[in-house]
């Protein structure tokens, strides 16, 4: 997922309930799928951020010495400005980019 090219909203917006549950005809099932995808996105973003911040990590025993690294601050600010994982998941859901199936339905 390319986080720079996403057009998911950064702030909270109201969605049409009928658009959300159109694919499943059940709002609770749709929200369940979206929430699982949001958890996946959150895990991916967190892993990516930790990997990038590990590059700047300096290990020393002194708590008095704290170094501010401009690159580390830039990376942190970039991730703070990203849309939240739930907004990304809802955008993917509305764009039909999330594959889902009901395991209780008979297979054709």
Report the chain's mean pLDDT, rounded to a whole number: 85
CB atoms within 10 A of CB 37: 21
CA angle 12, 89, 49 (to 5 degrees): 90
pLDDT per residue as tens digits for the range 37-70: 999 999 999 999 999 888 877 666 555 555 667 8
Contact 105, 23 (CB under 8 A): no
33 pLDDT tier (thresholds 50, 70, 90): very high
| pTM of the model as a whole | 0.81
């Amino acid at each position: 997922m390319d986080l720079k090219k996403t057009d998911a909203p950064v702030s909270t917006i109201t969605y049409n309930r009928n658009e959300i549950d159109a694919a499943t005809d059940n709002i609770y099932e749709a929200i369940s799928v979206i929430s699982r995808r949001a958890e996946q996105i959150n895990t991916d973003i967190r892993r990516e951020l930790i990997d990038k911040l590990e590059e700047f990590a300096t290990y020393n025993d002194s708590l008095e010495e704290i170094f501010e690294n401009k690159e580390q601050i830039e990376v942190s600010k970039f991730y703070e400005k990203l849309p939240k994982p739930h907004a990304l998941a809802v955008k993917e859901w509305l764009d039909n980019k999330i594959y889902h199936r009901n395991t209780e339905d008979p297979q054709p």
